[in-house]
């Protein structure tokens, strides 16, 4: 008891207005912010990859495999923040063994498993199969065997088989697009279906989440492409980068319009919660929502990319501006997740007061664990780059088009 009081006492000083006793401390912290951010990156990166295969956007070919591997690396880590947040990760397998159909959260395990196994791993396998066989033939030692096992001891590299691979990749991508929508739409659904919380409860939530996911995914691939290509001492493919930036721009416009629509809808509906929400947005969330999410994360990058397109600046300047814009977009989308998850818990259900979120550094819910979880996908991705090089020069020549 004494411990709880000591823990809550500093929070109590920062509370304004009237709140219920169980609202002083937030139940969903930084880890729950990271979770939709990571799944968003997965869905976004996959949608970008699908542009190449389904919509035949040839310019984006150099980023296709990178986008797939990025989606995989982030997908592997995506459930970790949830497991850390819930505690007892050793019991998590039970949601698969005894599926509870009436729990949206429990069903996520299946959405995740479907997306990981039926979509991402399968698509990567079909896309890499021929290369895996050819690599294993020219390699020695562990790598040879690793590639052999990964190819599932497949050996057929005939034209017919490769044609089948391509067809399979296309079909999986077509199935993958609704799956990616489901994966991230689901995250929006979880928040959007919380009836008691007027900040979350909105049918637009899954759609807004989805488009912000695509924005963050494209921005991430753009960042990776701009950083990794010079590190590999290669030339950046400008048509590819321009196309990436264009798609980023278009999706951001849609995302911005959807968020504006949501905002206008709330203001026009003007439900009983509007007063406390406007107090929240103009007070505790002003910096993270108005300044970071909308201004720095949305309007400035939009204006920057628009300027680049209109003024047709030289390549080097374009690269720098695209890079900066993509970083700002990442910060903005992270802020979006923060504002939804943390912001949605800052106001009292009495609509009469606001509480405060204090982040800890150590502990399972702390900043340190969160940073580790954020860095892990990059570590996994660098390992994947070693194991399954996505670069064009590693491909067998006749696959490259």
* Residues within the interface to another protein (CB under 8 A): 18, 20-21, 93, 96-98, 100, 117, 122, 125-126, 129, 152-156, 160-161, 164-165, 168
Nearer to another protein, 24 or 194 (CB): 24
Q: How far is CA 316 from CA 236, 249, 308, 313, in A?
A: 10, 19, 11, 8
Nearer to another protein, 106 or 299 (CB): 106
Nearer to another protein, 93 or 362 (CB): 93
CA-only gyration radius of the chain, Å: 23
Strand partners, 354: 16, 347
Nearer to another protein, 12 or 295 (CB): 12
Residue 367: exposure state from Cβ atoms within 10 A (0-12, 13-18, ≥19): middle
Using alpha carbons only, give the angle 45, 109, 126 rounded to the nearest 5 degrees: 45
Nearer to another protein, 101 or 140 (CB): 101
CB of residue 110 to another protein, shortest distance in Å = 12
CB of residue 90 to another protein, shortest distance in Å = 12
* Structure token digits, residue 231: 């590190």
CB of residue 296 to another protein, shortest distance in Å = 36
Residue 251: exposure state from Cβ atoms within 10 A (0-12, 13-18, ≥19): buried
The C-alpha atoms of residue 71 and residue 346 are separated, in whole angstroms, by 32
CB of residue 281 to another protein, shortest distance in Å = 21
Q: Enter the DSSP assignment of 354.
A: E
Residue 395 phi, psi dihedral angles, 5° rounding: -80, 155
State whether the Cα torsion 211-214-218-223 is positive or negative: positive
Cβ(77)–Cβ(38) below 8 Å: yes
Cβ(240)–Cβ(61) below 8 Å: yes
Nearer to another protein, 137 or 265 (CB): 137
CB of residue 116 to another protein, shortest distance in Å = 12
Of residues 228, 339, 358, the one with CA closest to residue 286: 339
CB of residue 164 to another protein, shortest distance in Å = 5
CB of residue 2 to another protein, shortest distance in Å = 11
Nearer to another protein, 65 or 129 (CB): 129
Nearer to another protein, 124 or 294 (CB): 124
CB of residue 18 to another protein, shortest distance in Å = 6
């Amino acid at each position: 008891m004494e411990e709880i009081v000591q823990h809550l006492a500093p929070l109590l000083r920062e509370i304004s207005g009237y709140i219920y006793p169980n609202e002083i401390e937030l139940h969903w912290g930084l880890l729950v912010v990271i979770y939709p951010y990571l799944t968003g990156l997965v869905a976004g990166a996959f949608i970008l990859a699908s542009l190449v295969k389904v919509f035949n956007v040839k310019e984006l070919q150099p980023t296709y495999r990178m986008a797939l591997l990025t989606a995989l690396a982030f997908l592997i880590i995506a459930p970790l923040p949830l497991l850390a947040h819930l505690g007892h990760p050793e019991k998590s397998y039970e949601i698969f063994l005894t599926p509870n159909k009436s729990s949206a959260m429990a069903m996520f395990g299946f959405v995740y498993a479907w997306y990981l196994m039926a979509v991402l791993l399968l698509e990567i396998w079909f896309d890499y199969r021929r290369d895996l066989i050819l690599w294993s033939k020219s390699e020695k030692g562990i790598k040879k065997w690793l590639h052999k096992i990964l190819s599932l001891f497949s050996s057929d590299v005939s034209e017919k088989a490769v044609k089948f691979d391509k067809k399979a990749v296309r079909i999986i991508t077509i199935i993958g697009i609704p799956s990616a929508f489901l994966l991230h739409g689901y995250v929006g659904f979880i928040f959007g279906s919380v009836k008691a919380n007027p900040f979350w409860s909105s049918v637009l939530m899954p759609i807004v989440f989805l488009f912000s996911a695509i924005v963050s995914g494209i921005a991430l691939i753009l960042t990776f492409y701009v950083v990794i290509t010079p590190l590999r001492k290669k030339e950046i493919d400008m048509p590819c980068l321009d196309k990436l930036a264009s798609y980023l721009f278009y999706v951001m416009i849609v995302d911005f319009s959807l968020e504006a629509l949501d905002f206008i809808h709330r203001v026009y509906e003007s439900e009983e919660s509007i007063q406390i929400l406007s107090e929240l947005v103009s007070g505790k969330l002003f910096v993270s929502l108005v300044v970071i999410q909308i201004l720095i994360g949305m309007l400035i990058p939009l204006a920057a990319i628009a300027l680049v397109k209109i003024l047709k600046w030289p390549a080097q300047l374009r690269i720098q501006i695209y890079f900066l814009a993509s970083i700002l977009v990442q910060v903005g989308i992270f802020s979006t997740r923060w504002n939804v998850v943390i912001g949605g818990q800052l106001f009292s259900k009495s609509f009469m007061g606001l509480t405060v979120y204090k982040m800890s550094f150590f502990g399972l819910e702390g900043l340190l664990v969160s940073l580790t979880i954020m860095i892990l996908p990059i570590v996994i991705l660098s390992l994947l780059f070693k194991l399954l090089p996505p670069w064009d020069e590693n491909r067998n020549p006749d696959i490259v088009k």
